[in-house]
C-alpha cells in the first residue's frame, strides 16, 4: 500500500447497442467527470500538476491528495509565498500568520493506531522548536485542524490546498480508514499524517524534474505569478533528493524529517531568537567581517558575526535593555557602535573595540519616539538621528571625541530615519514623509546647512541606505504588498526610479556594504524568519537565504 494518497483513475468504456430501427446520434455523450481544458488551465496556473486530476463534489483532487475548490480556482492567491530551489525541492503556497502560535489538531472517531500516529507526528514537529507547535485536542469543534475518516474513492488521504481563512491552517484532513486499514503501522501512518499536516500549514509536494522521485506525476510549468520567486534554501539540494516527508512518493515507508526537511521548515517557520521588526548590520570598516544585530525576546542585544572562510557564528547576547530595534555602524577597523532606544525613551549605546571587546551600556539622553539611527562619516565622527515625540527629526553627534547637545531639524519625519556618508564632510539623511514618499536631507561641512527635498516613491517602511564609496548610494524600503524596492544614486546618472527587486519581506530592510562591489540586504521573512540576500556588481541580486 502506498501511504501517499495517489489515485490511478481507470475509466471503463462500454458500448451501448441501440435498436436497428432507431437512428444513431453521432454526437458522443459528455462525461461529466472529464475536466475541461479551461479548468486544467486554472489548476496549472496555480502551479499544480494536472496529470491524474480528478473531479469531485465541489472541486478537484490534484496530485493525489490536494483538494481545490471552484472558488480556489477563481481566486488570485496573493499570499503565495515561495517556490524553492531550481527543481522545486520545497514549495509553499502560504505561511500561517500570528506567529508564534499553537495549532490544535483533533483525530476523534478514528482507530487507536491513528490517535497514536498523530502523537508521533506532533512530536516530530514539536522537536524542531519552530514558531508553530502542535497539540492534540479531544473534540473537533475546538481544533484548528480536524482529522477525520471519509471515503475517497481509491485515495488514502485528502487536504484542502488553500484554507478557508487566508494564512490560517487548512482543514479538514480526510483519511480513508477502510483503504488504509484500522491497524496500520503507526510510524508509517505518522508519516502520512505529518505529510497532510504539512499541506495544512502551506507546504506543497516536493516535486522533481526527470528523476525517480516524481512517481507518475510530471513537472508542470511554474505559474506566471509575480508573487512567486525561485529561491534556493541554503544547505539543501537543488535537484532530486529522496525521502522527504513531503515527497510525492512515500512508498509505504516511514519518512521522519530528513536534514533537508529540517532546514526547509526552519526557512518557513524558524524560531529566530529576536522579536525584531528591523535587523541591523554593519561591516567592520576596512574588513569583510559582517556584524548582524537583533533585539532579543528579553530585550537584550543579540549579535551574529559572519567571517569569510568560517561562516556565521552563533548568536551572542550583549545585554542591555532595549525598547527598539538597534542600529550599528563602524568608524574604522577597530571600532563598532550600536545604539537603541532605552527604557526612558533615551538613546543607549555600546561600543566594541579591538582588544577590549564590548563596553558597558551608556546613555546619551534624548526623548525619542523611534528607533535611533547611527552612522559615521569618518573615524572621528558619529551622528545619531531619531524621530522626536513631535515627529521632528532630532540629532546628537560626536566630533573628534566631543559630544554635542541634542538639536532639532526644521523638518518632520514619519519613520525611523537613516543616514549615509560618501565622504567625511558629507552626510545624507532619509525618512518617510506623511504621504509615504521619501525625504532626503543633505548636509555638508562646507555649508553647514541641510538641504531637504522629496524623492517621491511609495514606501511603506523606514528606508535604509548605504554609500558604496564616493560614487554610489543605494536606498531600500518595503513597498506595497511586502515588496522589496530600491532606488540608486550615482554621480553619473543622479537618482533612478524606484524598482521592485523582490517579494515577501515583512519588515523594513537593512543593508550593509564592505566596498563598491557588493551589498548584503536583511529583512524579516514571511514566517518571522531572518532572511538575507547579496548583491554583487558582477552577478546582481542572489536568492534569499534564511539565517
> pLDDT of 165-188, one tens digit each?
888 999 999 999 999 999 999 999
Lowest mean pLDDT among 225-239, 325-339, 404-418, 467-481: 225-239
Q: Locate 409 and state its grid cell.
A: 531639524
Summarize the confidence of residues 356-384 as an average pLDDT.
Answer: 95
Provide the pLDDT for residue 259: 75
Place of cell 558629507: 426
Provide the pLDDT for residue 10: 30
Gyration radius of the chain's alpha carbons: 28
Residues with Cβ within 8 Å of 229's Cβ and at least 6 positions away in sequence, in order, are 82, 83, 502, 503, 504, 543, 544
- Peptide bond between residue 523 and the one before it cis (omega within 30 degrees of 0): no
Report the relative pairing of strands 101-106 and 132-137 from DSSP bridges: parallel
Provide the pLDDT for residue 325: 93
Decide if pLDDT at 428 tops 50.
yes
Lowest mean pLDDT among 214-228, 352-366, 409-423: 214-228
**Distance of alpha carbon 10 from alpha carbon 30, whole angstroms:** 17
The backbone torsions φ and ψ at residue 101, rounded to the nearest 5 degrees and listed phi first, read -150, 155
Q: What confidence category does residue 498 fall into, taking pLDDT thresholds of 50, 70 and 90?
A: very high
Provide the pLDDT for residue 3: 44
Q: Which fold has domain 280-546?
A: Neuraminidase (2.120.10)
What angle (nearest 5°) sits at the alpha carbon of residue 87, between those of residues 83 and 92?
A: 25
Contact 18, 26 (CB under 8 A): no
Q: Where are the domains positioned within the chain? A: 37-269, 280-546
**Distance of alpha carbon 297 from alpha carbon 250, whole angstroms:** 39
**Distance of alpha carbon 186 from alpha carbon 184, whole angstroms:** 6
**Distance of alpha carbon 327 from alpha carbon 360, whole angstroms:** 17
Q: Which residue has the higher pLDDT, 224 or 20?
A: 224
Residues with Cβ within 8 Å of 359's Cβ and at least 6 positions away in sequence, in order, are 350, 351, 352, 353
Summarize the confidence of residues 35-44 as an average pLDDT.
Answer: 89
Provide the pLDDT for residue 197: 98
Q: What confidence category does residue 150 fall into, taking pLDDT thresholds of 50, 70 and 90?
A: very high
Residues with Cβ within 8 Å of 517's Cβ and at least 6 positions away in sequence, in order, are 468, 536, 537, 538
Helix, strand and coil content of the chain, in percent to the nearest 5, comes to 10, 35, 50
Residue-by-residue DSSP string for 24-72: PP-SPPPPTTSPPHHHHHHHHHTT---TT-EEETTEEEETTTEEEEHHH
Provide the pLDDT for residue 237: 64
- DSSP character at residue 92: B
Q: What confidence category does residue 46 fall into, taking pLDDT thresholds of 50, 70 and 90?
A: confident
Count of Cβ atoms closer than 10 Å to residue 344 Cβ: 12
Q: Which of 421, 473, 412, 406 is nearest to 439 (CA)?
A: 412
- DSSP character at residue 471: S
Please report which residue ranges of 275-434 form alpha helices under DSSP H.
none
Q: What confidence category does residue 241 fall into, taking pLDDT thresholds of 50, 70 and 90?
A: low
Q: Locate 172 and state its grid cell.
A: 479538514
Q: What is the largest CA-CA distance in the chain?
A: 111
Q: Which of 390, 431, 428 is nearest to 414 (CA)?
A: 431
Q: Reduced to 3 states, what is the DSSP secondary structure of residue 262?
A: helix
Residues 171/173/174/176 CA torsion (nearest 10 deg)? 180
Lowest mean pLDDT among 76-80, 145-149, 358-362: 76-80
Provide the pLDDT for residue 244: 85
User: So what CATH class is 37-269?
Assistant: alpha beta
Contact 438, 431 (CB under 8 A): yes
Decide if pLDDT at 481 tops 60.
yes
Q: Locate 530 and state its grid cell.
A: 531572518
Q: Is 33 exposed, middle or buried (0-12, 13-18, 19+ CB in 10 A)?
A: exposed
**Distance of alpha carbon 429 from alpha carbon 39, whole angstroms:** 53
Contact 522, 532 (CB under 8 A): yes
Q: Is 449 exposed, middle or buried (0-12, 13-18, 19+ CB in 10 A)?
A: exposed
> pLDDT of 397-417, one tens digit each?
999 989 999 999 989 999 999
Q: Is 505 exposed, middle or buried (0-12, 13-18, 19+ CB in 10 A)?
A: buried
**Distance of alpha carbon 511 from alpha carbon 420, whole angstroms:** 11
Provide the pLDDT for residue 452: 93
Number of residues written out for the chain:
547
pTM of the model: 0.62
- DSSP character at residue 355: T
Q: How far is CA 363 from CA 6, 343, 369, 406, 512, in A?
A: 64, 11, 16, 13, 25
Decide if pLDDT at 17 tops 70.
no
Provide the pLDDT for residue 184: 94
> pLDDT of 266-297, one tens digit each?
878 877 766 667 889 999 999 999 999 999 88
Summarize the confidence of residues 354-372 as an average pLDDT.
Answer: 95
Place of cell 579591538: 354
Beta-bridged to residue 253, according to DSSP, are none
Report the relative pairing of strands 316-317 and 362-365 from DSSP bridges: unpaired
**If residue 42 lies in a helix (H) or strand (E), which one and from where to where?**
helix 37-45
Q: Reduced to 3 states, what is the DSSP secondary structure of residue 290?
A: strand
Residues with Cβ within 8 Å of 469's Cβ and at least 6 positions away in sequence, in order, are 422, 515, 516
Within 167-289, strands assigned E span 173-175, 230-231, 280-283
Amino acid at each position: 500500500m502506498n501511504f501517499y494518497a495517489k489515485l490511478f483513475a481507470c475509466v471503463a468504456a462500454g458500448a451501448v447497442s441501440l435498436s436497428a430501427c432507431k437512428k444513431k446520434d453521432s454526437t458522443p455523450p459528455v462525461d461529466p467527470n472529464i475536466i475541461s481544458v479551461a479548468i486544467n488551465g486554472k489548476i496549472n496556473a496555480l502551479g499544480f500538476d494536472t496529470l491524474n486530476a480528478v473531479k469531485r463534489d465541489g472541486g478537484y483532487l490534484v496530485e493525489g491528495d490536494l483538494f481545490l475548490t471552484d472558488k480556489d480556482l477563481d481566486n488570485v492567491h496573493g499570499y503565495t509565498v515561495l517556490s524553492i530551489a531550481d527543481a522545486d525541492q520545497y514549495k509553499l503556497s502560504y505561511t500561517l500568520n500570528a506567529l508564534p502560535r499553537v495549532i490544535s489538531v483533533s483525530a476523534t472517531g478514528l482507530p487507536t493506531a491513528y490517535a497514536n500516529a498523530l502523537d508521533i507526528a506532533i512530536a516530530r514537529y514539536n522537536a524542531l522548536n519552530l514558531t508553530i507547535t502542535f497539540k492534540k485536542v479531544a473534540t473537533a469543534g475546538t481544533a484548528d485542524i480536524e482529522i477525520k475518516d471519509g471515503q475517497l474513492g481509491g485515495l488514502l488521504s485528502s487536504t484542502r490546498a488553500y484554507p478557508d481563512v487566508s494564512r490560517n491552517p487548512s482543514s479538514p484532513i480526510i483519511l480513508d480508514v477502510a483503504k488504509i486499514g484500522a491497524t496500520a503501522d503507526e510510524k508509517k501512518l505518522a508519516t502520512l499524517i505529518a505529510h497532510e499536516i504539512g499541506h495544512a500549514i502551506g507546504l506543497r509536494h516536493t516535486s522533481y524534474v526527470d528523476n525517480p522521485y516524481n512517481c507518475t506525476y510530471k513537472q508542470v510549468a511554474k505559474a506566471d505569478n509575480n508573487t512567486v520567486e525561485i529561491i534556493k534554501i541554503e544547505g539543501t539540494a537543488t535537484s532530486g533528493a529522496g525521502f522527504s516527508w513531503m515527497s510525492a512518493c512515500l512508498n509505504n515507508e516511514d519518512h521522519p524529517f530528513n536534514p533537508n526537511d529540517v532546514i526547509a521548515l526552519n526557512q518557513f517557520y524558524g524560531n529566530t531568537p529576536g522579536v525584531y521588526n528591523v535587523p541591523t548590520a554593519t561591516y567592520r570598516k576596512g574588513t569583510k567581517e559582517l556584524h548582524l544585530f537583533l533585539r532579543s525576546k528579553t530585550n537584550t542585544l543579540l549579535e551574529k558575526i559572519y567571517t569569510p572562510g568560517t561562516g556565521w557564528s552563533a548568536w551572542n547576547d550583549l545585554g542591555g535593555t532595549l525598547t527598539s530595534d538597534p542600529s550599528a555602524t563602524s568608524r574604522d577597523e577597530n571600532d563598532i557602535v550600536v545604539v537603541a532606544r532605552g527604557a526612558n525613551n533615551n538613546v543607549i549605546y555600546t561600543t566594541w573595540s579591538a582588544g577590549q571587546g564590548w563596553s558597558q551600556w551608556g546613555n546619551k539622553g534624548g526623548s525619542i519616539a523611534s528607533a535611533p539611527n547611527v552612522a559615521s562619516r569618518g573615524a572621528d565622527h558619529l551622528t545619531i538621528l531619531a524621530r522626536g515625540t513631535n515627529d521632528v527629526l532630532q540629532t546628537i553627534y560626536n566630533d573628534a571625541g566631543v559630544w554635542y547637545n541634542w538639536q532639532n531639524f526644521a523638518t518632520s519625519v514619519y519613520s525611523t530615519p537613516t543616514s549615509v556618508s560618501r565622504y567625511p564632510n558629507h552626510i545624507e539623511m532619509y525618512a518617510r514623509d506623511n504621504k509615504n514618499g521619501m525625504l532626503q536631507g543633505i548636509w555638508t561641512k562646507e555649508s553647514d546647512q541641510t538641504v531637504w527635498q522629496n524623492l517621491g516613491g511609495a514606501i511603506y517602511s523606514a528606508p535604509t541606505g548605504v554609500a558604496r564609496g564616493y560614487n554610489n548610494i543605494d536606498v531600500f524600503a518595503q513597498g506595497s504588498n511586502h515588496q522589496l524596492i530600491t532606488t540608486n544614486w550615482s554621480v553619473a546618472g543622479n537618482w533612478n526610479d524606484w524598482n521592485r527587486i523582490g517579494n515577501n519581506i515583512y519588515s523594513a530592510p537593512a543593508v550593509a556594504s564592505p566596498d563598491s562591489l557588493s551589498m548584503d540586504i536583511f529583512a524579516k521573512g514571511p514566517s518571522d524568519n531572518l532572511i538575507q540576500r547579496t548583491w554583487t556588481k558582477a552577478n546582481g541580486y542572489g536568492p534569499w537565504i534564511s539565517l
